[in-house]
Structure 1
Amino acid sequence: MILETLEIDTVVIGAGVVGLAVARELALAGQQVIVLERAGHFGEGISSRNSEVIHAGIYYRQGSLKARLCLEGRERLYDYCRRFPVGYRQTGKWIIASDTGQLEQLDQVQRAAQANGVELEEADHSQLADQLPDVTAVAGLFSPRTGIISSHDLMVSLLGELEAAGGQLVCHAPVASASSDGQGHRLTVGGAAPCELQCQRVVNAAGLAAIPLARSWQGQDPSTCPQAWYARGVYFSYSGRHPFDTLIYPVPEPGGLGVHLTLDLAGQARFGPDVEWIPGPEYTVDPDRRHAFAESIRRWWPGLDQDRLQPAYAGVRPKLAGPEAGSMDFRIDDERHHGIAGLVHLLGIESPGLTASLAIAREVRERLA
């Protein structure tokens, strides 16, 4: 079948929060932008399966993309929420050591925060007893710049700005193949209206599919791309009333930040995510994991009623290395990495990707320029 070929300035692949932020940024800079989304709606992937936390920038290696873009993105995001109809609340967050064996880890968190220029307030056992009377902890750190956000509101707003600037979102539009040469980039698009797109710039913001797409990109050496790894985290909601009005995190654990308490904008509590390494994206929530959740939560909240824990949803983190490798940085692969002008791959954009989304968008625009 001969496919119609359309010419376009810029294509963004993936309509999650990062893809929409990038597309908006490029459209506001005057580029003609189309966003391709293989699902039937924007934000159906990992952007709708996270904690919806605005992170302060505490945990990340000094000088890393995660550290720099989280801090910049945090301020951009708070400012954006004040200017547009995006639900958010600056709740603050406690990071706690539930026993003396975790004090060294808590100290490591404090040192990482100081290196990144993030202010944390220290509290000992007696101060925590006043602040969090229902929590068992020997010490804690309070992050006043942490908050929560409606990721759906944010994506609706970003899409609205994109369209107002002349951009377009096309759903049911999977990228079947992609190639690059000295004349630009060619994308074969499937779905209800198959076509080929010839474009000058492409941003691969495909989330969990970003690495497989980059590795199959014709004209790029696949050895320049990392292997894809996947870590599933499940969430349990907590029905009814609870005593908390701020977020509570235990000290970090390998692969994530531990089973923590977050709140939605209505005050509903949810716990998660845990960490389970899986061979590929899969979103099943096993109700039997409730017992492990309850055991973990009771270490710091003995008043938990396990029967009120209900399976909620699961998210999958796109990892750049396996469980033994430790935390990996974002990868924003441009011409310096793969030698192809006008092509940017966003790889391993896990937490704090939501917080950093507006800063990632600015970074992509500058690199494409």
Structure 2
Amino acid sequence: MDFDVTVVGAGVVGLAVAEALSKVFGRVLVIDKEEGFGRGVSSRNSEVIHAGIYYLQGSLKARLCVSGRELLYGFCERHRVPHRRCGKLIVATCAEEIAELDRLEANARACGVTDLERLTWAQVRAMEPNVRAREALYSPSTGIVSAHGLMRKLFARAKKAGTLFSFETEAVAVETEASGSRLTVRYRDGRQEAVTTGLLINAAGLFSDRVAGFMGLPPETAALHWWKGEYAALDLPAGHLTTLVYPVPEPANQGLGTHATLGLDGTVRLGPNALYLPDKEEDYRVDPSHLADFHRAASRYLKGIAPSILRPDMAGIRPKRQKPNDPAADFLIHSDPLKGHVHLIGIESPGLTASLAIAREVCALIGG
């Protein structure tokens, strides 16, 4: 056997899994088809540490977000990963949206989020003078983190523990053997090679459905749908916002709405929108014509933003397990003990927040 464990995918979840397993297994391999770690979903998001407000009670998203939040804050504090507990406002801008705040508050408490505060318009104005709201929920345990800083630390710790990383290496076939799996990989120059591994972890992000197919998981179980999220940068003076500001969630479970997030450097970004990509085209361009939509959405809850201060920023793609108008879908964490396979599919938001908890879940599934 060449390796005890092989992880396909070196995003934040794959790195967290590798870092956790490197404490238990002596021969751990991580492969990724990109030139380095964290080049996909993990590097193109809002970098928010979520509290666990939105997710269905009893779901993996709810459980792993709440536990992962505290694990992540602890990890960042111990290892000096840049982060900040800046808090978040979820705002109702009209009377009709107040009922949604009620629903969110009740759901959050049912999921174990116990520190939410209900604010009046006057309390919102005192906290954030540039925010419009009839009422709001304040989440003090929401924060922001350097996703790249987190991934750099996980990579360094896994590598120091002996994990081998092979980049520009793509999984192309899997055969199950009596003692594990034979994984065929293809390098950037076209060469192919087979390696044997006792355990195989599929953490391939946008391509986890494809890898699952190689590993024998039925297509209907592993099906993924791509959703593009564009962001716009806001040229605002320092201190214009000090907390994250979110509207009530979008209908049809498409997203959390066009929200205002902060960078660790104080910059403000709007987004993401939610654009369904039925053809799964990996396109990270931002359409400038969508800036008007960002401005219209954000003007409902932010004061002092003229169209001229918006500019295209970046885009990401989320691997969801739902099509438009489908019910909200959960993470899929599927274990096949007989084959020694674990699949992590549909790990979209709150995947960054939940990454360390997902790694613990994988360790528990394989007895590590």
| Band the TM-score falls in, shorter-chain normalisation | over 0.9
Q: Give the TM-score of the pair, scaled to structure 1.
A: 0.94
Gaps of 5+ in 1: 1-5
C-alpha separation in 2, matches of 1:326 and 1:108: 17
| Distance in structure 2 (CA, Å) of the matches to 1:114 and 1:222 | 36
Q: Does residue 247 of structure 2 align to residue 250 of structure 1? A: yes
Question: What TM-score does the superposition give when structure 2 sets the normalisation length?
Answer: 0.94
Alignment partner, residue 268 of structure 1: 267
Aligned residue for 2:46, secondary structure, equals coil
1:354 corresponds in structure 2 to: 352
Greater alpha carbon shift after TM alignment, 191-200 vs 312-321: 191-200
Summarize the Cα distance change of 1:223–1:181 in structure 2 as closer, same or farther, 3 Å threshold: farther
CA distance in 2, matches of 1:40, 1:363: 28
Q: Find the aligned partners of 1:81 and 1:110 in 2 and give their Cα distance.
A: 27
Q: Which moved more, 1:265-274 or 1:298-307?
A: 298-307
1:92 aligns with 2:90: no
Note the C-alpha offset of 1:24. Answer: 0.6
- Shift of residue 194 of structure 1? 3.0
The answer for the alignment partner of 2:292 in structure 1 is 291
Given residue 218 of structure 2, which amino acid in structure 1 is its aligned partner?
P
CA distance in 2, matches of 1:182, 1:110: 50
Residue 223 of structure 1 deviates from its aligned partner by: 4.7
Determine if contact 1:238/1:268 at 8 Å carries over to the other structure.
yes
Q: Secondary structure at the match of 2:22?
A: helix
Contact 2:49 2:145 in 1 (8 A): yes
Q: Which residue of 2 aligns with 1:42?
A: 37
In the TM superposition, residue 216 of structure 1 has moved relative to its aligned partner by 3.2
Instruction: Compute the displacement of 1:357 (Å).
Output: 0.4
Q: Is the 8 A contact 1:91 1:147 kept in 2?
A: yes
1:234 aligned counterpart, secondary structure: strand
* Corresponding letter in the other structure for 1:199: T
Q: 1:230 pairs with 226, 229, 249, which one?
A: 226
Identity of aligned residues (%): 42
Is 1:76 aligned to residue 76 of structure 2?
Answer: no
Q: Which deviates more, 239-248 or 343-352?
A: 239-248
Aligned-partner SS, 1:175? strand
Q: Tell me if the contact between 1:57 and 1:116 (Cα under 8 Å) persists in the aligned partners.
A: yes
Aligned equivalent of 2:48: 53
Separation (CA, whole Å) in 2 of partners of 1:194 and 1:240:
51
Contact residue 214 and residue 225 of structure 1 kept, 8 A:
no
1:66-93 Cα distance to aligned partner (Å, 9 max, x none): 1111111111110111111310011000
| Aligned residue in 2 for 1:21 | 16
Task: Say if 2:139 is the partner of 1:138.
Answer: no
| Number of the residue aligned with 1:11 | 6
Question: Which structure 2 residue ranges, 5 or more long, are not aligned?
Answer: none
Q: Where does residue 311 of structure 1 map in the other structure?
A: 312
Q: Deviations over 1:107-142 (max 9, x none)?
A: 111111110121200011222222222221100000
In the alignment, the residues of structure 2 paired with residue 129 and residue 163 of structure 1 have an alpha-carbon distance, to the nearest angstrom, of: 48
Report the CA distance shift for 1:290/1:221 in structure 2 as closer, same or farther (over 3 A). Answer: closer
Structure 1: how far apart are the matches of 2:361 and 2:217?
24
Task: Provide the secondary structure at the position in 2 that maps to 1:334.
Answer: strand
Other-structure match for 2:153? 157
Worse overlay, 153-162 or 193-202: 193-202
CA offsets, 1:4-36, max 9 Å, x none? xx7111100000000000001000123411100
Residue in 1 that maps onto 2:283: 282
Distance 2:133 2:51 in 1: 22
Change beyond 3 A, Cα 1:213–1:96: same
Letter matched to residue 267 of structure 1: G
Match for residue 325 of structure 2?
Answer: 324
In 1, Cα distance between the equivalents of 2:338 and 2:204? 18
Structure 2 residue identity aligned to 1:347: I
CA distance in 2, matches of 1:225, 1:287: 36
**Counterpart residue number, 2:25:** 30
CA distance in 2, matches of 1:214, 1:340: 15
- Shift in alpha-carbon separation, 1:328–1:238, aligned structure 2, 3 A: same
For 1:278 and 1:205, how far apart are their aligned partners in 2? Answer: 21
Q: C-alpha offsets along residues 298-349 of structure 1, whole Å, 9 cap, x if unaligned? A: 11114112211111111111111212112111110102xxx64310010000
| Distance in 2 separating the partners of 1:305 and 1:325 | 35
